[in-house]
Amino acid sequence: MGRWVYLNGEYVPQEEAKISIFDHGFLYGDGVFEGIRAYKGRVFRLDEHIQRLFRSARAISLKIPLSPHELREKIKEVLRKNELKDAYIRVVVSRGEGDLGLDPEKCPYSQLIIITDKISIYPEKFYEEGLEVITSSVRRNSLSALDPGIKSLNYLNNILAKLEATAKGVSEAIMLNNHGYVAECTGDNLFIVEGGVLVTPPAWAGILKGITRDVVIELAREENINFEEKVFTLFSVYTSDECFLTGTAAEIIPVTRVDGRVIGDGRVGSVTKILIKKFRELTEKEGVPIYE
Ligand code: PMP
């Protein structure tokens, strides 16, 4: 038997967890989600992820059928039922069943699903040698069309860029915003180091404000690394001393080649190394205990 899944108030085996083909999450990508991670029996930044889920839902007038506290407890319970300590957790809230029209008002019950799985970790080689990425020709959704700050089920924008990345033999792509400034990658935020200063695009550049991004900013402060949020172009990336990506799954992953240009001296830089070390230390000691 597979794992247990939480589906609208019940725990069901994953093979039996079914949603309606009239669910607007399926028909229109109308819904929101979160990707969360547990390390050694503790859920990392759980409350921050829950808060972001509730903010995403508010932005699309979607009612979450549990309180933040109840959701927190359900997430822990699913992990316990599946006897997981190191895990990837996916919380999905979809608009629910309606008719074939767009109108969310005709979907009376939103659906909440919690799926847990083992984490698929990137090969250690990437962390030691760095990743190669390209820039996608697909621009990140504009703030005035679909704000990337909403972690919605509508990921086609990112998937189009991901298709371009994989077609070129790499696993991530940088996405520019519609003004030509660097926004983020398909599933990760982007940082560069130039002249000793750590730089990342601000939320208004059109990004998902990553939880890992926030952790990195915190760590930089603690380590007295100069930090700035500002918009920049690809020129800054190509000429940077260091570059790395951040995300729940990827954690902090160095980038050593962008569009065929070697970043810095082609090796993982010292600022990136410090942040990776500190990040790993933090995930070992912090988090909401699953089994207490
Ligand atoms: N940007 C996008 C588009 C994402 O989907 C994600 C999450 N995978 C991130 C950034 C990183 O966010 P977090 O650190 O919260 O996982």
Rounded to the nearest angstrom, the distance between the alpha carbon of 61 and the centre of ligand 1 is 22
CATH number among 3.30.470.10, 2.40.50.140, 3.10.180.10, 3.20.10.10, domain 4-117: 3.30.470.10
pLDDT recorded at residue 292: 78
Ligand 1, atom 10: closest residue by C-alpha: 188
Residues with CB under 6 A from ligand 1: 35, 158, 184, 187-189, 208, 210-213, 246-248
3-state secondary structure of 205: helix
- Is the pLDDT score of 106 beyond 90? yes
- Is the pLDDT score of 4 beyond 80? yes
- Is the pLDDT score of 2 beyond 90? no
pLDDT recorded at residue 222: 98
Which H or E run includes 262?
strand 261-262
- Choosing from 76, 118, 151, 278, the catalytic residue is 151
Rounded to the nearest angstrom, the distance between the alpha carbon of 202 and the centre of ligand 1 is 14
Q: Which residues of 197-223 are buried (b: 16+ CB within 10 A; e: fewer)?
A: ebbbbeeebbbbebbbbebbbebbeee
What do you get for the CA distance between the two ends of the chain, in Å? 26
Average pLDDT for residues 152-163, to the nearest whole number?
98
Rounded to the nearest angstrom, the distance between the alpha carbon of 245 and the centre of ligand 1 is 10
pTM for this model (two decimals): 0.97
Inter-residue contact 131 to 245 (CB < 8 Å): yes
Candidate from 208, 218, 246, 275 with most ligand 1 atoms within 8 A of CB, to mutate? 208
pLDDT, tens digit (0-9, with 9 covering 90-100), for 115-141 = 999 987 788 899 999 999 999 999 999
45's CB contacts (< 8 A; 6+ apart) are: 36, 211, 215, 286, 287
Domain 124-284 superfamily per CATH: D-amino Acid Aminotransferase, subunit A, domain 2 (3.20.10.10)
Chain-centroid distance of CA 14 in Å reads 23
- Mean pLDDT of all residues in the chain? 97
Question: What share of the chain has pLDDT > 70, as a percent?
Answer: 100
Ligand 1, atom 2: closest residue by C-alpha: 187
Average pLDDT for residues 150-160, to the nearest whole number?
98
pLDDT recorded at residue 121: 77
Neighbour-count burial of 267, counting CB atoms closer than 10 A to its CB (0-12 exposed, 13-18 middle, 19+ buried): middle
pLDDT recorded at residue 80: 97
- Is the pLDDT score of 279 beyond 90? yes
- Is the pLDDT score of 1 beyond 80? no
pLDDT, tens digit (0-9, with 9 covering 90-100), for 32-90 = 999 999 999 999 999 999 999 999 999 999 999 999 999 999 999 999 999 999 999 99
The yes-or-no answer on residue 63 being catalytic is no
pLDDT, tens digit (0-9, with 9 covering 90-100), for 212-250 = 999 999 999 999 999 999 999 999 999 999 999 999 999
17's CB contacts (< 8 A; 6+ apart) are: 5, 7, 113
Rounded to the nearest angstrom, the distance between the alpha carbon of 58 and the centre of ligand 1 is 19
Q: Which atom of ligand 1 is nearest to the CA of 248?
A: 16
What residue spans define the domains of the chain? Answer: 4-117, 124-284
53's tokens: 């889920």
